[in-house]
Amino acid sequence: MLAAMGVLVAATIWARHSADGPGGRLALDIAVGAAAWLLSPALLWRPVAVAVALTALAALSPAATPPATMAALRLAHHRPFPAAAALAAAGVGAHAVQGLWRPAAGISFGWWLLLIALGYGALTGWGALARARRALLESLRERARRAEAEQGRRVAEARMAERARIAREMHDVLAHRLSLLATYAGALEYRPDAPPEKLAHAAGVVRAGVHQALDELRDVIVLLREDEAEEGRPQPVLGDVPRLVEESRDAGGTVELRDEVVDPGALPAASGRTAYRVVQEALTNARKHAAGRPVRVELRGRPGARLVIEVRNPLPEDPGAAPAAPGSGTGLVGLTERVRLAGGRLDHQAAAGEFRLRAWLPWPA
3-state SS string for 212-270: HHHHHHHHHHHHHCCCCCCCCCCCCCHHHHHHHHHHHHHCCCCEEEEEEECCHHHCCHH
- CA-CA-CA-CA torsion for 83, 89, 94, 96, nearest 10 degrees? 180
- CATH fold, domain 236-365, is Heat Shock Protein 90 (3.30.565)
Label residue 123 left, alpha or beta by phi (over 0 means left) and psi (-120 to 50 means alpha). Answer: alpha
Q: Where are the alpha helices (DSSP H) in the chain?
A: 2-20, 26-39, 47-58, 65-78, 81-101, 109-190, 196-224, 241-250, 269-289, 331-341
pLDDT (0 to 100) of residue 313: 93
pLDDT at 179: 72
Task: Provide the pLDDT for residue 316.
Answer: 82
Tens digits of residue pLDDT in 201-254: 777 777 777 777 777 666 666 655 544 434 445 678 899 999 999 988 887 789
Q: Which residues 6+ apart lie within 8 Å of 265 measured at CB?
A: 239
pLDDT of residue 360: 94
CB 244 within 8 A of CB 276: yes
Predicted local distance difference test score (pLDDT) of residue 228: 40
H or E segment and range at residue 362: strand 354-362
Residue 258 CA to residue 195 CA, distance in Å, equals: 33
Please report the pLDDT score of residue 227 as a whole number: 41
Return the domain boundaries, the chain: 2-137, 236-365
Q: What pLDDT does 300 receive? A: 94
Q: Given this model, what pLDDT does residue 257 score?
A: 94
| Closest residue by Cα to residue 52 from 64, 133, 62 | 64
pLDDT-flagged residues of the chain (< 50):
226-232
